[in-house]
Amino acid sequence: MKCILTAGFGVQSLLLLSLFIFSVQICGADDDIHKDNIVVILDASGSMQDKFSGDRTKSKMEAAKAALQQVLANIPDGTQIGLLVFSGANIHNEWVYPLGPKDTEKLIAAIHLPHPSGDTPLGRYIRIGANRLLEQREKQYNYGNYRLLVVTDGEASDADKVKHYTPEILNRQIRIDVIGVDMKTDHMLANVVDSYRKADNPGELVAAVSQILAETGGTGTDVGGEDAFEYIAPLSPEIAADLIQRLTTPPSNTSIAVKQAAATPTRRTPPSKTSTPPQQNTGNQGTLWFVVILIALSVIGFLIFRNRK
């Protein structure tokens, strides 16, 4: 019993030391590495020029631009923002606002740039946005918060890529929030991502963007000495050891590779009937010879026995 208690205390002490070092690193690190990072992926496909089904005053794109302008212009200045747009008619650079410090004037101009056109290659663009966040997290030594905000009004035209990339993004601890704009049914990501909100009119769209981005802030990683000890004291050695592993194992910042298209199966040519001689069953042949030899020996033995008589 004494050994068990000593071992438990040792593990908990090691955990406390890890927490202390972790908090010292955070306090001593430069403020730049604590910045929150948000990449907004805006659907500018052709359907975004349609008006809301229940509110004909604005198109979905006009409402999305107004909501993003209103909310993004008012988030904390220390937050880094990126705006990624797909399919817009006049989009020559998909990053209309590259991930970086918030410049309100340039950000508002970027928000108003895209005009709807084309299809909905969401899978390709969540990969682009996630890889940029992973690159930034590497630069910030894994500090800060990282999230993708997807604003879209339809299912992806590359649904197979969405299904492939989404789990990889979530496994790398990047948060994904999705807003479905005036969709008849929930988006395919509704039950997969961290949060999903419906926006069936301009007011709901502003509210959805506001609610999601209001959650930005605070890494929640600072731990005080006495409070930390009180927190870990009741933990079993197994749980404490697991926490140590989690603290000392940073999330993966490995970029997400492009999904390769499924290989087309090659048609196999049936073998020629005359090219390969049929294989003989050696097992049956061996049995047959054994029976023949046995019969021969029996006959010879019978003849010998009869001659002796």
pLDDT band at 271 (very low <50, low <70, confident <90, very high): low
| Amino acid code (one letter) for 287 | T
Provide the pLDDT for residue 278: 46
Per-residue pLDDT reduced to its tens digit, 149-178:
999 999 999 999 999 999 999 999 999 999
Q: In this structure, what token pair is assigned to residue 44?
A: 């500018």
* Sequence spans of domains, the chain: 2-28+222-248, 37-213
- The Cα 252–Cα 234 span in angstroms is 30
Dump the DSSP string for 78-137: T-EEEEEEES-TT-SSSEEEEEEE--HHHHHHHHT-----S---HHHHHHHHHHHHHHHH
Per-residue pLDDT reduced to its tens digit, 201-213:
999 999 999 999 8
Using CA atoms, how far residue 184 sits from 28, 87, 135, 180, 233, in Å, is 50, 22, 36, 9, 51
- The Cα 241–Cα 74 span in angstroms is 42
Q: What is the DSSP letter of 59?
A: B
What CATH architecture does domain 37-213 belong to? 3-Layer(aba) Sandwich (3.40)
Looking at the predicted structure, is the pLDDT value of residue 188 above 80?
Answer: yes
Q: In this prediction, what percent of the chain has a pLDDT beyond 70?
A: 63
Provide the pLDDT for residue 306: 56
Per-residue pLDDT reduced to its tens digit, 40-92:
999 999 999 999 998 888 999 999 999 999 999 899 988 999 999 999 888 78
Provide the pLDDT for residue 45: 95
- Across the chain, mean pLDDT equals 79
Q: Residue 214 burial (CB < 10 Å; 0-12/13-18/19+)?
A: exposed
Q: Is the pTM of the predicted complex or chain greater than 0.75? A: no
Provide the pLDDT for residue 67: 96
- The Cα 144–Cα 80 span in angstroms is 10
Q: In this structure, what token pair is assigned to residue 160?
A: 């197979």
Looking at the predicted structure, is the pLDDT value of residue 186 above 80?
Answer: yes
Provide the pLDDT for residue 5: 39
Average pLDDT over residues 184-207: 96
